[in-house]
Amino acid sequence: MAEMMKLQRGDAVPHIRVTTVSGELFSYATVWQRRNVLLAVLGTSPADDKYATALSAGASEFGNVDTECVVTRNDVPGLTAPGVLIADKWGEIVCVVEASDSADLPGVEDLLEWAEYVRRRCPECEGEVY
* Rounded Cα gap, residues 74 and 21, in angstroms: 9
Q: Is the pLDDT of residue 130 over 60?
A: no
Alpha-carbon separation of residue 49 from 1, 74, 111, 124 (angstroms): 33, 14, 17, 38
| Mean pLDDT across the chain | 92
Mind listing the pLDDT tens digit for each residue in 33-67?
Answer: 999 999 999 999 999 999 999 999 998 999 999 99
Q: Is the pLDDT of residue 2 over 60?
A: no
Q: Are 41 and 79 in contact (CB under 8 A)?
A: yes
Specify the pTM: 0.90
Closest residue by Cα to residue 113 from 70, 75, 58, 72: 58
Q: Are 73 and 42 in contact (CB under 8 A)?
A: yes
Domains and CATH numbers, the chain: 17-120 (3.40.30.10)
Lowest mean pLDDT among 2-6, 55-59, 96-100: 2-6
